[in-house]
């Protein structure tokens, strides 16, 4: 008997989206598809002040991955072209590895994710959905610019890590490689370059999240 794909109603999609949001924000991260980079390396961060600092950086990166989940899910919900929707869903699945890696590192450091994660997810979902409604070219352009800014933040964080913290650095280096690949994929799919005021606003929002998540 030939398998028939189910057609999901708007209510089905709403329920699925709500379930995804709750699992992303309130549940432990799913098991990653790829092994955590640097897991085999020796732990070198023992000083309490260094551990708090590294945990703050990893909390920011974890919050960024929560926001990425919201962004991609929002864009997928409003994308007009099926291939764009599938690309957004695939990117969200790949970002779950980053989410799990950051959460694992936070646990190793005796710390926790940001208490503001519900805000990061919901805000990013609305932004992503809005970008999708404007059009797929702009939605893809938004992905490209977001990933460019994320890669820049990761570069800064790797410089701010203790010199011998190879565990955290291995995670951030792999994340940076993945983010740049997502950026290139979005551009190759036809992503438009965003206007300068929009890019500037995205930078300001990113800075607000970075500072908030470091402490909270």
* DSSP letter for each residue of 133-183: HH-HHHHHHHHHHHHHHHHHHHHHHHHHS-TT-HHHHHHHHHHHHHHHHHH
Distance of CA 80 to the CA centre of its chain: 22
Tokens of 112: 């926790």
Residue 204 backbone phi and psi in degrees, to 5: -65, -45
Q: How many CB atoms lie within 10 A of CB 195?
A: 11
Cα torsion 135, 140, 145, 149: sign: positive
The predicted structure's pLDDT at residue 26: 52
Residue 40 backbone phi and psi in degrees, to 5: -80, -10
Tell me the average pLDDT across 180-185: 89
Q: Which CATH superfamily hosts domain 47-215? A: Ferritin, core subunit, four-helix bundle (1.20.1260.10)
The predicted structure's pLDDT at residue 50: 97
Tell me the average pLDDT across 4-18: 50
Provide the residue ranges of all domains of the chain, joining segments of one domain with +.
Answer: 47-215
Give the pLDDT confidence of 40-92 residue by residue, as tens digits. Answer: 999 999 999 999 999 999 999 999 988 888 888 887 777 777 777 677 767 77
Give the pLDDT confidence of 144-167 residue by residue, as tens digits. Answer: 888 899 999 999 999 999 999 999
pTM summary value: 0.83
Non-local (6+) Cβ contacts of 192 within 8 A are 137, 138, 140, 141
User: Cα angle vertex 177, ends 175, 180, to 5°?
Assistant: 105
Tokens of 184: 């290139």
- Coil, strand, or helix at residue 205? helix
């Amino acid at each position: 008997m030939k398998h028939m794909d189910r057609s999901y109603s708007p209510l089905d999609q709403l329920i699925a989206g709500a379930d995804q949001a709750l699992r992303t924000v309130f549940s432990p991260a799913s098991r990653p598809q790829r092994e955590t980079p640097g897991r085999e390396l020796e732990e070198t961060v023992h000083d309490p002040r260094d551990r708090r600092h590294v945990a703050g950086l990893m909390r920011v990166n974890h919050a960024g991955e929560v926001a990425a989940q919201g962004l991609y899910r929002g864009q997928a919900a409003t994308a007009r072209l099926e291939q764009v929707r599938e690309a957004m869903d695939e990117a969200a699945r790949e970002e779950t590895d980053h989410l799990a890696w950051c959460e694992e590192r936070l646990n190793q450091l005796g710390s926790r994710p940001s208490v503001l994660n519900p805000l990061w997810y919901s805000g990013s979902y609305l932004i992503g959905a809005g970008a999708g409604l404007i059009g797929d070219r702009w939605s893809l352009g938004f992905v490209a610019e977001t990933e460019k800014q994320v890669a820049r933040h990761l570069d800064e964080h790797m410089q701010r890590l203790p010199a011998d913290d190879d565990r955290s650095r291995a995670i951030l280096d792999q994340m940076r490689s993945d983010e740049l690949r997502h950026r290139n994929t979005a551009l190759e799919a036809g992503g438009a370059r965003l206007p300068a005021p929009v890019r500037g606003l995205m930078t300001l929002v990113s800075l607000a999240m970075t500072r908030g998540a470091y402490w909270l």
